[in-house]
Amino acid sequence: MKVVNNMARDGQGVTEIDQEKYDADENVKIICLGDSAVGKSKLMERFLMDGFRPQQLSTFALTLYKYTTTVDGKTILVDFWDTAGQERFQSMHASYYHKAHACILVFDVQRKITYKNLSNWYQELREYRPEIPCIVVANKIDADLRVTQKGFNFAKKHNLPFYFVSAADGTNVVKLFTDAIKLAVSYKQNSQDFLDEVMRELENFDLEKPDEETSEDTESPRSKDEV
Ligand SMILES: Nc1nc2c(ncn2[C@@H]2O[C@H](COP(=O)(O)OP(=O)(O)OP(=O)(O)O)[C@@H](O)[C@H]2O)c(=O)[nH]1
Ligand SMILES: [Mg+2]
């Protein structure tokens, strides 16, 4: 497992890292979103390093973790993108979302505002990635287990999977990440991304040709875009 610390502000430098790795079919990218201090980095640490260090600075801008696993007999390379949720970074650079295959959306069960802000994060996510699987996560349940009795309707409302977890004691952390990886892989395998790109190329190409040649074909590329 390799950790790449990218200290670039505002997502600068992300594209270089991004570029070298997305050619392989079995490479997926999973992003993590949520307010500052909800436990995004701690959840990753718990899963990737099987540990929890109580004191650590908040993520500066972006940390990339590389992780290898197997799904249905195939070797999968996972890039986990962890970002800072501070106000100063509240709107993510587009490249953070670029080619992401799944999202883990985290709030802190002890702080209501972080739950309220889910809708802002979710809205931004959907602007860039309208289709990718997204798991909603209620973190820090170790602090007061009674919270698991509460109804959190955000996930239900948007028809998203929802897990109660704790980075501190490890509850549901492995399940969360292994499910996120499976969802990312299945999204990538079924996604129309590549086809869409090709179709867009063809559409542009068609536009340059005389009308009569393209009139028959114009419908199909459009309908693919909506899959
Ligand atoms: N009790 C408890 N504390 C937690 C848990 N997860 C994280 N924390 C604490 O919450 C604080 C913030 O955790 P981080 O993982 O740094 O939060 P973050 O979401 O990465 O924050 P930014 O990087 O600023 O966006 C730390 O002090 C952690 O020790 C948990 O499951 N239970
Ligand atoms: Mg962090």
Q: In what order do the strands lie in the sheet with 102-108?
A: 2-6, 62-71, 74-83, 27-33, 102-108, 134-139, 162-164
From the CA of 56, give the closest atom in ligand 1.
16
Residues 76-106 pLDDT 10s: 999 999 887 665 556 667 888 999 999 999 9
| Beta carbon of 31 within 6 Å of any ligand 1 atom | no
Residue whose CB lies within 8 A of the most ligand 1 atoms, among 42, 114, 121, 164, for a mutation test: 42
Residues 10-36 pLDDT 10s: 344 445 444 444 444 579 999 999 999
Sign, CA dihedral 74-104-5-41, equals negative
| Beta carbon of 140 within 6 Å of any ligand 1 atom | yes
DSSP designation for 58: P
Q: What is the ipTM of this complex?
A: 0.99
| Beta carbon of 172 within 6 Å of any ligand 1 atom | no
| Beta carbon of 189 within 6 Å of any ligand 1 atom | no
